[in-house]
Amino acid sequence: MLSVAGLSRPDLQLLFIPFALLAGVLAAVLTPLSISVGAGAGSVLASLAVVDGVALNPPTSD
């Protein structure tokens, strides 16, 4: 298994996206929030990672 130290920034961003979606759904299940609100919150977090990875800090061909 890879250690986190061996992963690049784009790898970590790609790893964050499913965890953000899962956290949103889990928050909805474990709290009185509806599933649509929790999934929406997870989607917002995941989209921030996409915007950061594509627009703000695009990968370079180093």
Tens digit of each residue's pLDDT, the chain (62 residues): 667 677 888 888 888 899 999 999 999 999 998 999 999 999 999 999 888 888 887 777 65
- Using the CB atoms, write b or e for 23-61: b if 16+ within 10 Å: bbeeebeeeeeeeeebbebbeebbeebeeebeeeeeeee
The answer to whether the predicted template modeling score (pTM) of the entire model surpasses 0.85 is no
| d(C-alpha 32, C-alpha 49), whole Å | 26
- The amino acid sitting at 19 is F
